[in-house]
Structure 1
C-alpha cells in the first residue's frame, strides 16, 4: 500500500516593511514610537517604492492616530534629504505653504514679495489644492508675479533675478506629493503634511513653519533641534506661515539646534471681523495702495517681522524694518 507523500506547508516570508507597521500598531501595550533610525529606514523604503499600498495607508494612519514624535520627524527628514538632488542654492528663508486659507486671504504672499524686493532670498514650496474650500498659494502665483518653478535651475534663476521662487512639492519630492494626495482617499491628513514643513530642502538660513494643532509646535521645534537647524515654528493663521495680529503669537525657535521661546502680543485691541468671502483681487488692491485695510496690513507686517526675526533681527527692529520695507515697496506687479 502506497503511503501519500507528507504535505509540506511553508509560511510566506514577512514583508521587510511589516515590522515598521507592527511597531506602531501592536495594541495599546505593545505599540511604541519609532526610533530615529527606524523612522529614517522606514521613510527610505517609502521613497524607494519598497512597500505595498496597503502598508503605506496603514503606516500613515497609525502615525496620524498616535501623533508623530520629534525623533520620528527627524528620521523622516533625514531620509528625504539624503535622496534630494538639489544643487547648492543660497537661500535665506525656507517658506512652506501647504495648508491653504479659508478665513482670510493669503497675506503672507505679499509679505514674502515685499521681503524679496528688499534682498531676502525666499524659497516657497507647497503641495497643491488637496482640500476643498481653501485658497492655495499656487492659485495666486501668476496674479502676484511670483515665479512658478518646475526644476532647481529655474529656482536658482528666479532667486538670482528677484529673490523669490515657488516650486511645487511634486517637482522635487513626488513620492511625498503622492502621500499628501491620499488625503481624500484616507479621509484624514497624514503626517506628510507636517513633514513637508520641516524639510528645508535647500538648507536655508532659517526655516519658517506653521503648525496649527496645539502641542505640535514644540514637537516640530524639537525635531528641528535634533537636526541642528535654525527655525521658527508658530501657530499661523489657518495653518500657514502668517501671524494672526488679533491674538498672542508664541514663537518656538531654534538657533543652531538650541531652542528658545518668544511671545509677541496681539497687535489689535479687538478682533477684526473676518471677510464674508475671499476676493483675490483684494491682494492686488492692497499691494498697489488702492485700499487701506487694518487686518491684512498688520498680518503681513508682523509676518515680515517674523522672517526677519528668523534671520537674527530683534523683534522691535524687525517690525521697524518691515514697516520701512512696506512703505517703500514697488507697487507695480
Structure 2
C-alpha cells in the first residue's frame, strides 16, 4: 500500500534503491489509475532512467499494465514485431514495414504500437497516415487479423491510462520505461515476439521479463551501431527466450546476407517522408530500406518458425514485397479497419 508516492517511491529511487516486483506493480497502478500528479510522474520516469530499471521492476510494471488493460487472446500463432524506440537515430519505420511483409508471408501479426514519444514518427503515426484506423476495438482488430492477416492495436485504446502520459513522455524527450514496457505488454497476449531494443544493457532484463511471463518464443535484438533492429551496418546482439531458457547469440546480418548498409542510409524525416518510404518499399523499390526491412522480416519469420535461417527468411520476405502481397496486406488492413 502506497501512502505517499513521493516518500514511498521517489525517495528510494533517487537513492538508487531498486523496487521489488510488488512495489513496482503498486507504483505503476497508482500512476495508471490517475492518482499521481504529472510532475511526480516525470520525476519517477527520470529517476528510473537514471538508476536503470531492473528485471524485477519491469516485471512488476508489466503486471500492472496487463491488470489495467483491455486484453484478449488472438491465438497461438500470432507474433508481434516491435521496437523500443529511443535509439535517437530517427530511422524509417522498419518494424512496421517488416510486419506488413511478414503478414504477406501468411504469418498472423498482432502489432502493438503508439505515436512517437522519443522518435520522429511512431508506428501509429505512419499507419494512420497510410489510412489505417487507429482506435479500432478488439472486434475490429480480430476482423483485420482474419481478413488481412494483421491487426494493429493502438496502445492508448487498450492501455487506456497511457494516453495522458504521452505529453509527459514527449516533453522529457528521452527514452523512458514506457519505451520498454510497451513491447512487453501486447494486449493480444501474443506468445511469440521480435523486439528491437535500443539500449544493449536492457537486453538481459527484458529477456528475463519475457521468461518470467512464460512467452513461448521471443527474440530481442540490438545492433552494435545502436539500432533497435537487426542491423546491416554492424553485428547485432540477440537474446533468444524459450522454454529452454535464455540464449545469448551474436548475429552479423550483413555477413549472412552479403549486403551492408549503415544506419544513416535508413534515416527517416517527417511523416510525409516516412510514408513515402513505406509506399516505395511496398512497391518493391530496392536499396538500403528494402534490404534492412527484409532482413528484419527474415528474423521475424524465424521467430514464427517459418524458416530456419536468415537467408531463407530474406528470400521469403523479398518475395512477399515483390509479388505485391505485402502491399495487398496494407490495402486490406486499411479497408477492414475502416469498415
TM-score, structure 1 as length reference: 0.81
Matched, 1:321 2:316: yes
CA distance in 2, matches of 1:172, 1:266: 35
1:92 aligns with 2:78: yes
Q: Structure 1, residues 65-96: CA drift from partner, whole Å, max 9, x if none?
A: 10100110011101111222223322611233
Which deviates the most, 210-219 or 260-269? 260-269
Name the counterpart of 1:6.
none
Q: Which has the higher contact order (CA 8 A, sep 6+)?
A: 2
What SS does the corresponding residue of 2:253 show, helix, strand or coil? Answer: coil
Q: Which residue of 1 aligns with 2:232?
A: 245
Deviation digits for residues 174-196 of structure 1 (CA, Å, limit 9, x no counterpart) = 32333343124445432112111
Q: Displacement of 1:126 after TM fit?
A: 2.2
* 2:104 equivalent among 113, 117, 140: 117
Larger radius of gyration: 1
What TM-score results when the alignment is normalised by the length of structure 2? Answer: 0.80
Is 1:204 the counterpart of 2:190? The answer is yes
> Cα offset for 1:49?
2.3
- Which residue of the other structure, out of 4, 7, 25, is the alignment partner of 1:40? 25
Distance apart, 1:171 and its partner CA: 1.0
Deviations 1:84-141 (A, max 9, x none): 2223322611233563885542243332112112221112222213347x13323332
Give CA deviations for 1:34-68 in whole Å, capped at 9, x if unaligned: 11121122222222223343432332221111010
Superposition misfits of 4+ residues, deviation over 6 angstroms: 237-240
1:288 counterpart residue number: 283
Structure 2: 5+ residue stretches without partners = 332-339
Unmatched 5+ stretches in structure 1: 1-12
1:182 corresponding residue in structure 2: 168
SS for the counterpart of 2:265 is coil
Which has the larger displacement, 276-285 or 240-249? 276-285
Q: Which residue number in structure 2 is paired with residue 76 of structure 1?
A: 61
Tell me whether 1:168 sits opposite 2:161 in the alignment.
Answer: no
- 2:123 equivalent to 1:130: no
Deviation at 1:263, TM superposition (A): 2.2
CA separation of 1:149 and 1:52: change in aligned 2, threshold 3 A: closer
Q: In structure 2, how many angstroms separate the alpha carbons of the residues matched to 1:276 and 1:220?
A: 26
Q: Greater CA deviation, 230-239 or 66-75?
A: 230-239
- Asked if residue 18 in structure 1 is aligned to residue 22 in structure 2, the reply is no
Query: Residues 245-264 of structure 1: CA distance to partner in whole angstroms, max 9, x if unpaired?
Result: 12212221101371012322
Q: What is the aligned counterpart of 2:293 among 286, 289, 300?
A: 300
What is residue 7 of structure 1 aligned with on the other side? none
Contact 2:218-2:241 within 8 A present in 1 as well: yes
Quick one: structure 1 residues 95 and 147, their matched pair in 2 at CA, closer, same or farther if it must change by over 3 Å? farther
Structure-2 separation of matches of 1:240 and 1:181? 25
Aligned-residue CA RMSD in angstroms? 3.0
